[in-house]
Amino acid sequence: MSGLHRWDLTPAEARELQTELAEKIDSTTPLDTQSVHRVLAVDVSMNRFATWLAAAAVVCDVHEKMLLESSTLIQPIRFPYVTGLLAFREVPALLKAIERLSQDFDAVVVDGQGLAHPRSLGIACHLGLWLDKPTIGLAKTKLSGTHEPVPNKTGASVPLMLDDRQIGVAYRTKAKTAPIFISVGHKCRLEDALSLVKRITDNRRIPWPIRAAHDEANAARCGKRIT
């Protein structure tokens, strides 16, 4: 996995780099979501005051709805918590977890923002550039933009807008639950991102590959185990 940049940056340098990297994001190449067979999902878990984090990467079979492989690791936290700079805290560990996988994958889903970010470079964009794979941001909370109320029914969606520009979709995966926020990470269109999220959504608020990565990260954190 070739290096995109160095990680030992100050928050100010990190913000400047995000602005530069945002110009490289591909949000126009179509992704045939029906041909996506294996999805990589990633997540990070950490205690509130911990000095280390647990990263997890899982490869899931979309057709069979099963976990094929998982990789976790423990790594010291080397970047402070700063809103909008999550990638600099988590991506280095995620990349190491991904490198340990033997299974290939067609697309990536990330528990975090893509283009729906103040500088149009959320963690999904950042990871997508490093992996050079179709990548989708799937966040539980909104970081940037505004949207109209989402109808209270399963499958309802409304545009997430910023300055008259659509940066994502607020999507209700299940009636009577809060919507999630979907945005392009890299190498796909927004409509394709929504289509793939629909394919991996079951009867829960958070799509199952993200839940699988979350469970693996939590297990690694609680057991402080390295695989």
- Structural domain includes residue 176: yes
CATH number at residue 170: 3.30.2170.10
Which of 36, 44, 60, 67 shows the shortest CA–CA distance to 193? Answer: 36
- Structural domain includes residue 97: yes
Encoded tokens for 112: 């975090």
What's the domain count of the chain?
1
The Cα 123–Cα 18 span in angstroms is 10
- Structural domain includes residue 1: no
Across the range 139-167, mean pLDDT stands at 95
For the full predicted model, state whether its pTM sits above 0.85.
yes
pLDDT at 1 over 60: no
Distances 28 to 115, 122, 137, 139, 188 between C-alpha atoms, Å? 13, 17, 15, 21, 6
User: Using 50, 70 and 90 to split pLDDT, how confident is the model at 166?
Assistant: very high
The Cα 34–Cα 39 span in angstroms is 12
- Structural domain includes residue 2: no
User: Using 50, 70 and 90 to split pLDDT, how confident is the model at 2?
Assistant: low
Question: What proportion of the chain, given as a percentage, has pLDDT over 70?
Answer: 97
- What DSSP designation does 148 have? P
Encoded tokens for 1: 């996995």
- Structural domain includes residue 5: no
Residue 35 makes CB contacts below 8 A (sequence gap 6+) with 106
User: Using 50, 70 and 90 to split pLDDT, how confident is the model at 227?
Assistant: very low
Mean of the per-residue pLDDT values for the chain? 94
CA 14 and chain centroid, separation: 19
- Structural domain includes residue 4: no
- Structural domain includes residue 193: yes
Encoded tokens for 159: 């545009």
Distances 158 to 57, 89, 146, 152, 172 between C-alpha atoms, Å? 30, 31, 10, 11, 9
Domain span at 17: 11-223
- Structural domain includes residue 34: yes
The Cα 89–Cα 129 span in angstroms is 16
